[in-house]
Structure 1
Amino acid sequence: MQYPPYIRLSELAAIVGQVLDTRFRQTAYWVLAEVSGHQYRQEKNYHSFELVEKREDTDGLLAKFSAKAWGAGSTKVQEFEKKTGQRFTSNIQVLAQVKVVFHQQYGLALDLVDLDAAYTVGKLYEARHLTLQKLVQENDFIERTPEGYRTRNKSIQLPPVLQRLAIISSLTSAGMEDFIHTLEKNPEGYQFELDRYLTVVQGVDNVDQIVGQLIQVFNSGKSYDAVLLLRGGGAQTDFIVFDHYQIARAVAKFPIPVITGIGHQKNETIADLMAHTATKTPTQAAEFILHHNRNFEKSISELRQSILLHAKTYLSERTRLVEHLNGRLLHRTRDFLQLQERALYKLQSLIVTGTTELVYAHQHALQNFKHEVFSTVEHRLAGARRDIGIQKDKIWTWSGIQLKAADTGLRHLQTNIRLMSPDQILQKGFALIRAKGRIITDHTQLTKNQSIEIITSKITLDVTVNNKKENTDGTGFNV
């Protein structure tokens, strides 16, 4: 069997390698591309990734190369991260100097030679500037001022005491644990109510999760004093999510004061600029809250001292005034008593003389009156005894009539009460309606699909209201 002329694959790879080496060995290219699929092997100090170029209108690719950075290239990556404050990872755009290399086993790839940190810093600044500009232009609750940005959230006054707090952070955030530890171990012994709303707080793919947690805080209906947006330290890339338009807008509009502690030391994120209060770290956010509460306690203590001081001054002045009035009162009372004493002595003399004369005159009159009274009393007592006998007979007769009438009335009422008792009414075919443990007497208390109990003389029915209509002909209870 005859075969066409052929060469081994390794020989073809060698030919391609020679051609590429001849063409690209002495040349390095600056290329603008996006990093994708980045992996770092720390034990080998080796970065593997892809450099891609995407279409502007879709996510389709225009070009893609495998790439790697090791040795000097890995050192350039470290310098890039130090200069930009951003981790070299997927989904960032870089201006990279690369060389084209070909390996017979691993194929065509690009070796990273250098990275332009200035380009990346500029792109981050440009994106940040455009986001801030869009926030001001599209939202009437965000305003640019000489001092910074005025937002609806900044205009909310902090409560005098921050105690009921909602925390938005990740489950594994050491920063959140530092925040909670700082609050719970405060030397003043302040108590806090902390609710955790957990989410991923890095990566632009998680913007909706963070905004969703803010919405959950709002929909909880709880009266939170403040919302804490927390994240521990990390590379600048980790904070890009907090420069996102949707998060910044949600923070600026949020009706509860937002305090950020995102863990960055160099620059403020846009979320920081929109929030009521921005701190550098979760621990500093906790210290801000404790300081705020201490200021309130201090103001109360100062107010207490001021009240005590004013009270002492007032009481001292009132005491002096009372002492002065007491002296004047004693002096005038003494003068008045002496004057009245002289008047009493004079009056006493007049009373003694007049009383003696009056007593003699009245004694004579009393003797005359005594004789008249005795004669009149006997006559009147006899008449009174006759009247009392007559009235006694009338009372006995009238009381008998009244008692008999009252007995008849009571018997009639007993009969009516017995006829109106629930047992008698139920036995006549009527029923009681009970809902939620109460007897229903007003049909407006019943709604469609409501569960009720119908109580008859023998059984209780559990039913559901399917429909409700009014009796309009007036004959529903004719018997």
Structure 2
Amino acid sequence: MKALSLYELNNLVRETIAVSLTDEYWVEAELSELREVRGHCYMELIQKDLFSNTPVAKAQAKCWKSKWIGVRDKFERIAGQSLHAGLKVMLKVYPDFHEAYGFSWIVTDVNPEFTMGDMARKRLEIINKLKTDGVFDLQKNLELLMFAQRIAVVSSPNAAGYGDFCSQLENNDYGLKFYPRLFPAIMQGEGIEKSVISALDDIYKSLDDFDVVVIIRGGGATSDMSGFDTLALAENVANFPLPIITGIGHERDESVLDMVSNTRVKTPTAAAALLIEHLSDVYNRVMDAQEEIISNIARRMEVENLRLKRLAEKIPMLFSIFKNQQISMLDKLFVEIVNTITLKISMCNYDISILSNSLAPVAQRRLTKESYKLQLIQQKLEALDPVLLLKRGYSITTFKGQVVKNASALKSGDEVEIRLEKGTVKSIIK
């Protein structure tokens, strides 16, 4: 039996595909990879299992430079974002098999409305999940502190919007002081979710240093807004303990992040204006309260001055009567105190004389008794003196400075010291 060469077999496949699949087909798939090389676009398409999220189909796709520019621009113009990995897309394709490079689908068109519908479905799923978990409105329940001056800013450090935000805070018309601190983050592309969550984690570590969090994104294409429509980022913002103000898009672009934040504004400068207006309102309230307090104090002082004037007129007569009453009372108290002290001293002298007469015999008896006890204790101590035991012929054996009481505590080779009445002897246990 003659075998086909690989080239012949591949050529047969190419001819079969060319004859059998002559049409173009619309296909729904997810982009797992997308890269541009010299103007051409190379994609990897996958389909995942509905329940396990495991890929059940995979294919390579290409869009040649002549088609890619138009396909890309059409998608971005209608969908408001760029094609990137993770998107579900509907592509118009036809099959292509090359003897040397294998099979791939050639992309000729894209349906942006399909992707927009899928994005809307995902957004709705995220919103429903947040509402089911009871966290969708958590930020709305937080109140901006009266003196919200310490601001944690999540933004790209080089963004013009961040510079505008800080400039407006610093140069406000009221001369109010704000203290912004930047927590750098990626604000466009696929790294938005991870980067912003990391910045929020850093803010949380020094939570007591801030009054409010501001997430801003100055300028940029609306095609980059999809990074703010993720469940993980929305959950982090919704559960954050400080009020979060977002200024990440234009008027018509409301992300899930905007929905769950405490306050949503259009731009970074609008976020600065909000904080300035809030603090200026507090300042005006403080100034109004100050004027009211001064006015109330002035009125109260007038009333009290009138009262003092009336009292001053009555004081001389009242003081004279009060003085005579107090002098009489003091005289009576003095006599009573002198009599009481005299009686108490007499009673104490009597008690002391009785105690002194009875104390001497009692003390003598106690001294005699305690002296006898001391003699008994001394006799017992002398009887227990180890020197007496040694004189009787006993000895004391020690090992490493400790008295040996149990022979089992020693083992062969141990050196012990035996103390006698006169001298000591060292011995090795065998």
What SS is found at the alignment partner of 2:166?
helix
Structure 1 counterpart of 2:153, from 167, 191, 194? 167
**Please, what TM-score do these two structures have when normalized by structure 2?**
0.60
Taking the TM superposition and a 5 Å limit, the aligned residue runs for 1:188-207 are: 188-201=174-187, 207=193
Question: Residues 291-343 of structure 1, C-alpha deviation per residue, up to 9 Å, x if partnerless?
Answer: 323333455566677789x79x979xx8xxx9xxxxxxxxxxxxxxxxxxxxx
Distance 1:23 1:135, change over 3 A: same
Determine helix, strand or coil for the equivalent of 2:151. strand
Q: Aligned to 2:208, which of 222, 233, 244?
A: 222
User: Of residues 283, 289, 294 in structure 1, which corresponds to 2:275?
Assistant: 289
Distance 2:132 2:158 in 1: 37
Distance 1:114 1:104 in 2: 25
Once residues 71 and 194 of structure 2 are traced to their aligned partners in structure 1, the CA distance between those partners, rounded to angstroms, is: 34
- The residue that corresponds to 1:99 in the other structure is 94
Distance 1:195 1:182 in 2: 15
Higher relative contact order, structure no. (Cα contacts within 8 Å, ≥ 6 residues apart): 2
Q: Structure 2: how far apart are the matches of 1:82 and 1:53?
A: 26
Match of 1:47 among 41, 47, 70: 41
Q: Are 2:79 and 2:223, in contact at CA under 8 Å, matched by a contact in 1?
A: no
**1:376 maps to what in 2?**
none
Question: Matches of 1:286 and 1:203 in 2, distance apart?
Answer: 25
1:156 correspondence with 2:142 = yes
Instruction: Please name the residue that 1:180 is paired with.
Output: 166
Does 2:122 align with 1:136?
no
User: Cα–Cα, structure 1 residues 93 and 249, in superposed 2: closer, same or farther, change >3 Å?
Assistant: same
Structure 1 unaligned residues grouped into runs of 5+: 143-150, 323-479
For residue 18 of structure 2, what is the amino acid of its counterpart? D
Native 8 Å contact 1:37 1:90 kept in 2:
yes
Who is 1:68 aligned against? 62
Count how many residue pairs are aligned between Structure 1 and Structure 2.
305
Tell me the secondary structure at the aligned position of residue 247 of structure 1: helix
Distance 1:49 1:291 in 2: 50
Partners of 1:14 and 1:204 in 2: CA distance? 40
Structure 1 residue 278, shift from structure 2 partner: 0.7
Match of 1:242 among 222, 228, 233: 228
Displacement of 1:260 = 0.9
Q: Distance in 2 between matches of 1:5 and 1:126?
A: 53
**Aligned partner letter, 2:269:** T
Q: Distance in 2 between matches of 1:273 and 1:234?
A: 20
Selected match of 1:36 from 25, 32, 36: 32
1:58 is displaced (CA, Å) by 4.7
Listed one character per residue, the Cα deviations across residues 18-54 of structure 1 (whole Å, up to 9, x for unaligned) are 33222333x011111111221235x73x322222223
Distance 1:285 1:12, change over 3 A: same
- TM-superposed CA distance for 1:182, in Å, is 3.1
Show CA shifts across 1:54-106 (max 9, x none). Answer: 33455643222222224345313321221111211111111111111234554
- Confirm or deny: 8 A CA contact 2:34 2:84 kept in the other structure: yes
1:211 pairs with 2:192 = no
| Residues 233 and 53 of structure 1, relative CA distance in 2, 3 Å threshold | farther
Which whole-Å CA distance do the structure 2 matches of 1:174 and 1:109 have between them? 43
Aligned to 1:251: 237
- Which residues of structure 2 form unaligned runs of 5+? 307-430
Q: Report the CA distance shift for 1:89/1:212 in structure 2 as closer, same or farther (over 3 A).
A: closer
**1:277, distance to aligned residue in structure 2 (A):** 0.8
Distance 1:69 1:178 in 2: 41
Decide whether the 8 Å contact of 1:243 with 1:271 is kept in 2: yes
Structure 1 vs Structure 2: percent identity of aligned residues?
A: 29
Q: Tell me: CA distance 1:80–1:28, structure 2 relative to 1, closer, same or farther (3 Å).
A: same
Alignment RMSD: 3.8
Q: Structure 2: how far apart are the matches of 1:226 and 1:302? A: 25
Q: Which residue of 1 aligns with 2:409?
A: none
State the Cα deviation string for residues 173-207 of structure 1 (Å, max 9, x = none). 44333322332343544332222223444566764
Name the structure 2 match of 1:17: 14
Look up the equivalent residue of 2:139 and give its one-letter code: N
Amino acid corresponding to residue 17 of structure 1 in structure 2: R
TM-score (norm 1): 0.54
Alignment of 1:296-445 (within 5 A): 296-300=282-286
Distance 1:209 1:159, change over 3 A: same
Q: Whole-Å Cα distance in 1 between the matches of residues 36 and 239 of structure 2?
A: 40
